[in-house]
Amino acid sequence: MESVLAMIYLWLKAGHVIFVIFWMAGLFMLPRYLVYHQEAAPGSPEEALWTERERKLLKIILLPSIIAVWLLGILLATSQHLWGEPWLHAKLLLVLLLSGYHGWLSAYSKKLARGERTLTGKQLRLLNEVPGLVVALIVVLVIVRPF
């Protein structure tokens, strides 16, 4: 199995990077959608549009992307025998945090769809910065491998 993974390493890596890009694009878009949704008048046609847009983004882009990112990442780490590397452990912790952030955004989207508005637009705008900061750290860990 490992020899097969080693032979397709570059394809795994390309797929992983592609789906990371899709996932990150969705994680940048969804908080912005939530801001617009939150600022729409309750019960309005605009609010219904934002609910549908969020649902589609979550189901069509974010869910398949996070699954592919995790699957391809695990295959990459296995094919290169990286499980003992400290930088990979740090990266996995950050990816777990991003995965939790993804789950939290999904749950907040559902709360908004039910009419529950517990955050302000400003708070949602600040939360929009989280994935950019985390992915910058992940890129440094993968490229520089500081430890």
Annotated binding site for heme: 16, 91
Distance of CA 100 to the CA centre of its chain: 9
Q: How far apart are CA 83 and CA 122, in angstroms?
A: 39
Pick left, alpha or beta for residue 122 (phi over 0 → left; psi -120 to 50 → alpha; otherwise beta): alpha
- Binding-site residue set: 16, 91
Alpha-carbon span 66 to 63, nearest angstrom: 5
8 Å CB contact between 54 and 33: yes
Burial status of residue 83 (CB atoms within 10 A of its CB: 0-12, 13-18, 19 or more): exposed
